[in-house]
Copies of this chain bind each other. A is one copy, B any other.
Amino acid sequence: MRKVKIHITLKEGVLDPQGKAVQNSLQSLEYNTVEDVRVGKYMEVVMEDSDNLEKQIDQMCDQLLANPVIENYSYTIEEVV
């Protein structure tokens, strides 16, 4: 079994209203050193290992997990003990 840790982030240049809202909230809580906030998604997928695991994960991200038009994804694969 493998645990796949997937990060999905907005591409550079894509507006992030959620991040902006978090940034404003932090600043109104007097965290004035905060300059920028970007919000993304993080998923942990536990799945069986296979020879074409990476290809399978790429397909999953492109088809369902990420929106390739505005989002990038990256992942790391760990062994589950």
Where the two chains meet, the residues of A that have a C-beta atom closer than 8 Å to any C-beta of B are: 1, 7-9, 19, 22, 25-26, 29, 31, 33-48, 50, 56, 60, 63-65
Assess the B36–A22 pair: CB atoms within 8 A. no
State how many angstroms separate the Cβ of A70 from the closest Cβ of chain B: 16
Of all A-B residue pairs in the complex, the 10 with the closest CB atoms, nearest first, are A33-B48, A42-B42, A36-B46, A40-B42, A35-B46, A38-B44, A34-B47, A33-B47, A37-B45, A39-B43
- A31 neighbours in B (Cβ, 8 Å): 47, 56, 60
State how many angstroms separate the Cβ of A44 from the closest Cβ of chain B: 5
Assess the A7–B42 pair: CB atoms within 8 A. yes
State how many angstroms separate the Cβ of A11 from the closest Cβ of chain B: 13
